[in-house]
Structure 1
Amino acid sequence: MAAAKRFVTQLQQDGQLTAATHIDVHLYGSLALTGKGHQTDNAVILELAGFSSDNVDIDAIPVFLTQLTKTGKLPLAETAHSISFTAQDNIQFHAGVFDGRCSTARSMGWQCAASLHCSRDCNGT
């Protein structure tokens, strides 16, 4: 678990986290092909919320995901700022699409009130 956490951490460092109102995640290549079976969607959700593999309480994961399903609100980067988010609406698996950046590319875009859009791939660009 790293790319989505880096994404929200960068938004936070840039002072843009609280401006984020919408995040879409696009998974390509092997992440898309094996994503649901390997719980990639849940890992991305946990990363966006600020968890990392070295600090997540495994027993708390089902509770956190159930709460997200009930409320449709995802807290970002362990802050009080939340956005509307559901895995069904905001995480897309593009199985069989290899975008040329790397075999396990993730693309995340966010929007703020000014409709600013930004994407980051697995190389952070």
Structure 2
Amino acid sequence: MAVGVFDLFSIGIGPSSSHTVGPMRAAAVFAEELKASGGLGSVAGLRVDLYGSLAATGHGHGTMTAILLGLEGFHPELILPGEVEERLASIAETGVLNL
């Protein structure tokens, strides 16, 4: 059986992909399911609770950044570095997530 580099490594924002790739994917799935269910129009706010190692080290490892971007529909293997800073600046300035 052949094993490629993409079978061994995940592509995503860092510095700790274990604290960003999974949370970004989970947030993106949540947002996609919210849209598909028709519940998006009734959302006025959103709260994210972290547990375990994500709660203990998430801020320093970029977990909240990954979650915000995932909620906006970005996926770890597709987001461009320039998009990360652009979206974070917009979210910070406006206080609005584009679900």
What TM-score comes out, normalization by structure 1 length? Answer: 0.58
Name whichever structure is richer in strand by fraction: 1
Structure 2 unaligned spans of 5+ = 1-23
Unaligned runs of 5+ in 1: 77-125
Q: How does 1:41-60 map to 2 (within 5 A)?
A: 41-60=64-83
Runs of 4+ in 1 over 2 A off after TM superposition: none
Query: More helix by proportion, 1 or 2?
Result: 2
The one of 12, 26, 32 aligned to 1:9? 32
What is the CA deviation profile of residues 66-86 of structure 1, one whole-angstrom value per residue up to 9, with x for unaligned ones? 11111111110xxxxxxxxxx
Aligned counterpart for 2:43 among listed residues 9, 13, 20: 20
Query: Aligned pair count?
Result: 76
Shift of 1:3: 1.0
Amino acid at match of 1:58: P
What CA distance in whole angstroms lies between the structure 1 residues aligned with 2:59 and 2:76? Answer: 18
Percent of pairs with identical residues: 38
Other-structure match for 1:114? none
| 1:40 aligns to 2:59 (yes or no) | no
**Which structure is larger by alpha-carbon Rg, 1 or 2?**
2
TM-score (normalised: structure 2): 0.72
